[in-house]
Amino acid sequence: MNRKLRMGMVGGGRGAFIGAVHRMAANLDGQIELIAGNFSSDPEKSKLSGGDFYLDPSRVYSSYEEMAKREGAKPPGERIDFVSIVASNNLHFPVAKTFLENGIHVVCEKPMTLSLEEAKELKAIVEKSGLVFALTHNYTGYPMVKEARAMVKAGKLGRLLKVVAEYPQGYAVTNLKEQENTKIGSWRADPKKAGVSNCMADIGIHAENLARYISGLHLEEVAADLNTFIPGRVLDDDGSVLLRYEGGVRGVLYASQISTGDENALHVRIYGTEASVEWHQEHPNELIVKFADQPRQVWRRGNSYNGPEAQKNTRIPFGHPEGFIEGFANIYAAVTEAVRDSLKGEFKPGTYDFPSVDDGVEGLAFIEATVKSSAANAAWTKLH
């Protein structure tokens, strides 16, 4: 197939941060072009946003329903190949369902749906459709995260014992009135749009997913203490969670949006009987490797000693910073491979390195279990 993939987008219009990130990442390898979208629930804003991106006005839609129906009715050589969903949480499920039912592959922002019930229903829809579905847990796209995962899979850490994941931010340590025009003060703090959680559904789920991606472990139970520190908020802005993984591995997860002075300090540590690995999102080109009987080592991205997984996802030579946009781009590169295979009739579900609908289900199970546990005074609560 000698052409670029055709991308559509729902959400991500004027003033939206994450939509711009997706567009930059999708464009990075020159394999994808944005040709259509419903960029806002406001038809006029959607139209103006389409103009910003120099799109054909006939491919800028007033609603996602219209977009899915009209794009799905076009012949394969003209329709969009996939849609990226970057709207608020409450729209993820209906938008994904609508496009899948119209035969269009889907890339979706996290959390996958508003509830675990919706997540399970969407999984059934994806499996029935036979289409590509990817979830943009972007931190799984970093080369040194993939290096850490490869080390765990190869047994270099020995038997796993402990998982520690942290995601502190400080941007929401203010009152609601001051934040009313920002994400924390608008839809992220509204249960009808955000779901049962704010902090855990926004960043706690990233920490849980990244720990699971690197360790390969699945959670069995959680004991959670979620808090709402700022008066006027309905949903959590902080939380601490004890974790019980399969095989007896234990863990701790802390996510917070009121950790004053922190920016985007996602950290993951995986401890084994032979060694441990430690990765910090704000210093993504380094992986710290620690041994019981050797000096600690710092492995850096882009070097010849990196394994094939890290090398495949490294884009520029060592010594040059590489990070946030490239992490998203690595997910889009894997999606491109899957969609091209699908268009050739060679799609092999489960063989591509991007978060899937199964990751989405596990993420919603984690969110709902933490909320249920916290409401029961941090009682141990099973995920399924």
Segment 27-74, tens digit of pLDDT: 999 999 999 999 999 999 999 999 999 999 999 999 999 999 999 999
Task: List all residues 6 or more positions away from 363 whose beta carbon is below 8 Å from its beta carbon.
Answer: 110, 111, 112, 119, 135, 137, 205, 208, 209
262 lies in some domain: yes
Percent over 70 (pLDDT), the chain: 97
- Output the pLDDT for position 175: 64
State which of 131, 159, 174 marks the end of a domain: 131
Question: CA distances (Å), 214 to each of 25, 143, 149, 269, in order?
Answer: 22, 12, 4, 9
Specify whether 49 is located in the same domain as 169: no
Reported as a pLDDT band with limits 50, 70 and 90, residue 190 is confident
Specify whether 284 is located in the same domain as 250: yes
For tokens 């997706």, name the residue. Answer: 22
Specify whether 103 is located in the same domain as 204: no
Identify whether the C-beta of residue 67 lies closer than 8 Å to the C-beta of residue 37: yes
- Output the pLDDT for position 186: 65
What's the whole-number mean pLDDT along residues 224-244?
95
Specify whether 249 is located in the same domain as 269: yes
pLDDT digits (tens, 9 = 90+) for 81-128: 999 999 999 999 999 999 999 999 999 999 999 999 999 999 999 999
355 lies in some domain: no
Query: What is the domain count for the chain?
Result: 2
Specify whether 127 is located in the same domain as 177: no
154 lies in some domain: yes
Does the predicted model carry a pTM greater than 0.85?
Answer: yes
What's the whole-number mean pLDDT along residues 214-233?
96
- Output the pLDDT for position 182: 58
Identify whether the C-beta of residue 5 lies closer than 8 Å to the C-beta of residue 32: yes
Specify whether 229 is located in the same domain as 368: yes
Specify whether 86 is located in the same domain as 160: no
Query: Which CATH number belongs to the domain containing residue 96 in this structure?
Result: 3.40.50.720
Helix (H) or strand (E) holding 300: strand 297-300
Specify whether 175 is located in the same domain as 253: yes
Domain containing 41 equals 5-131
Output phi, psi for 35, to 5 deg. -125, -10
Task: List all residues 6 or more positions away from 108 whose beta carbon is below 8 Å from its beta carbon.
Answer: 84, 85, 92, 96, 133, 134, 135, 136, 360
Reported as a pLDDT band with limits 50, 70 and 90, residue 181 is low
pLDDT digits (tens, 9 = 90+) for 194-222: 899 999 999 999 999 999 999 999 999 99
- Output the pLDDT for position 267: 98
Identify whether the C-beta of residue 272 lies closer than 8 Å to the C-beta of residue 161: yes
Mapping DSSP to helix (H, G, I), strand (E, B) and coil, where does residue 238 land? strand
Specify whether 261 is located in the same domain as 178: yes
Specify whether 156 is located in the same domain as 282: yes
Amino acid at 71: E
Neighbours of 68 (CB within 10 A): 25
Specify whether 153 is located in the same domain as 38: no
336 lies in some domain: no
Reported as a pLDDT band with limits 50, 70 and 90, residue 179 is low
